[in-house]
Structure 1
Amino acid sequence: MIMFSIFLVLIVIVCFLLIVVIMVQNPKGGGLSSTLGGSQQMGGVQKTTDFLDKSTWTLGILLIVLIMFSSLSFNSGNSDIKILDDKQIAPAKTEVPAPATPAAEVPAK
């Protein structure tokens, strides 16, 4: 249960970082680089866009990996539950009721 809690905290942190990185980007391609200067005179403008793109992919992949590992850690905590084979379970015995005896025939009038 502790491992699942650790994964849950890490997933929340990665989700928050992913939201921040996505919100900084501009959907039209400008993003953070357009706020730093419109021309290519500034040295790190293209590198900023590349960094945001790579960090988005990295955080997305990290989120998927954390979710998979958290599901594995959550399932491994329930090792006390045992699944029985159908062969191990004895079928319930049901008694077949005896056929009803026919009622005495009523003479027809």
Structure 2
Amino acid sequence: MSTFTIFLALIVVVAFLLIVVIMVQNPKGGGLSSSFGGGGTQQLGGVKKTTDFLDKSTWTLATLLLVLILASNIAINRGSESVDSKALDLDAPTTAPAPLPTPVPSTNDAATATPDDSTGE
């Protein structure tokens, strides 16, 4: 298994976790953070701490995703060639496309034309 494949698998996992963390959040104060608060005086973990945890985990996962994407670019196997394009290859043979033959007008075209008899006259 190549290094790029490992990075690709990690990117997929981190992207999935980031989606889950973002979907759990609710900008109006609801979502998972309101279920921990419950509206009463008893709080399991506290609303403020849950919001802070979700906020920090979102930024951490987003940063990790960006770092993994940049690191995967380094791990791509580019082969042994250093030239990316044939246009940049100076040793490549240069061949010009063959010119297309130009049609020569014939003087018999006007003489062999027949009138259209589709009108019935």
Superposition TM-score, scaled by structure 2 size:
0.62
Residue aligning to 1:31: 31
Higher RCO (Cα < 8 Å, 6 or more apart): 1
**Matches of 1:49 and 1:90, distance apart in 2:** 61
Spell out the pairing of 1:1-109 with structure 2 (5 A cutoff). Answer: 2-36=2-36, 37-39=38-40, 41-42=42-43, 44-45=45-46, 46-74=48-76, 77-83=77-83, 89=91
Amino acid at match of 1:55: S
Return the offset for 1:11: 0.5
Report if the CA contact (8 A) 1:31-1:49 is conserved.
no
Report if the CA contact (8 A) 1:14-1:63 is conserved.
yes
**Matches of 2:89 and 2:12, distance apart in 1:** 44
**Matches of 2:22 and 2:65, distance apart in 1:** 14
CA separation of 1:4 and 1:91: change in aligned 2, threshold 3 A:
closer
**Matches of 1:90 and 1:30, distance apart in 2:** 64
Amino acid at match of 2:8: L
Report if the CA contact (8 A) 1:22-1:56 is conserved.
yes
The percent identity for this pair of structures is 58
Superposition TM-score, scaled by structure 1 size:
0.68
Residue aligning to 2:104: none
Amino acid at match of 1:47: K
Residue aligning to 2:106: none
How many aligned positions are there?
91
